[in-house]
Amino acid sequence: MMLYKLKLAACFGIPEASGTCIISLVDESEKRALSIMTNEYVAEQLKACNSKTSDFENDVVSVLWTLFDRLNVDDFYLEFDATPERGVFATLVNKITNERMSIKTDQAVLLSVAADIEMYTTELVIKEISTPFNKNDMSSASCAVPISALPDQMLEKALDCAINEEDYETASAIRDEIERRKGKKVNN
């Protein structure tokens, strides 16, 4: 399976969504971006870790990594993949044993920055889920996020916006995602 290397490009809040932030990962050519939703706490921890401030030293990821660091960090990588049912998900992979451990996507990025673990994604994610990336404009207004990644509250707002703008194709896609989520909740 072909994997594409990713790196952290940005992490920022969404003004319209209180407490919701976006982590933007880009491929090596900086042409495609994978947007991951997170909360303010993880975003702040990511920024603290990235700037190596003392605030991060007591965080659970930092403490656990100190224990985990007794293993060779080069033996691990993080893989981002996707399925229609789950959306994007992350896995910590041991290169030696091929042992795979699931990890929340935003926590995977935090672990990558804290421990300097390389991140990769699959061809499916690059072709089907990633969005075009413009490194000259890295604001929340220019960041494309797949509708499957939006929280329910933002999805409802996006539907209202699409209807008001008479963009019925987008409204239909958003409505389908809302219905899919409702069906998923009923089945669980």
pTM: 0.76
Where is pLDDT greater, at 6 or 183?
6
The mean per-residue pLDDT over the stretch 120-143 comes to 78
In whole angstroms, give the CA distance from residue 4 to residue 119: 8
Same domain, yes or no: 119 and 158: no
Q: Which domain holds residue 182?
A: 150-187
Please give the C-alpha separations between residue 45 and each of 27, 147, 151, 166, in angstroms, as whole numbers. 23, 25, 21, 40
| pLDDT for residue 10 | 87
Same domain, yes or no: 117 and 172: no
Residue 143 has pLDDT above 80, yes or no: no
Same domain, yes or no: 105 and 161: no
Residues in the chain: 188
Same domain, yes or no: 167 and 138: no
Structural domains in the chain (count): 2
Instruction: Read off the pLDDT of residues 158-183 as tens digits, 9 standing for 90 and up.
Output: 788 778 888 888 788 888 888 877 87
The mean per-residue pLDDT over the stretch 98-119 comes to 92
CA triple 91-9-128, angle to 5 deg: 55
| pLDDT for residue 91 | 97
Written as one letter, the residue type at 17 is A
**25: which 2 tokens?**
């990962």
Backbone angles phi, psi at 34, to 5 degrees: -110, 120
Give me the CATH number covering residue 126. 3.10.690.10
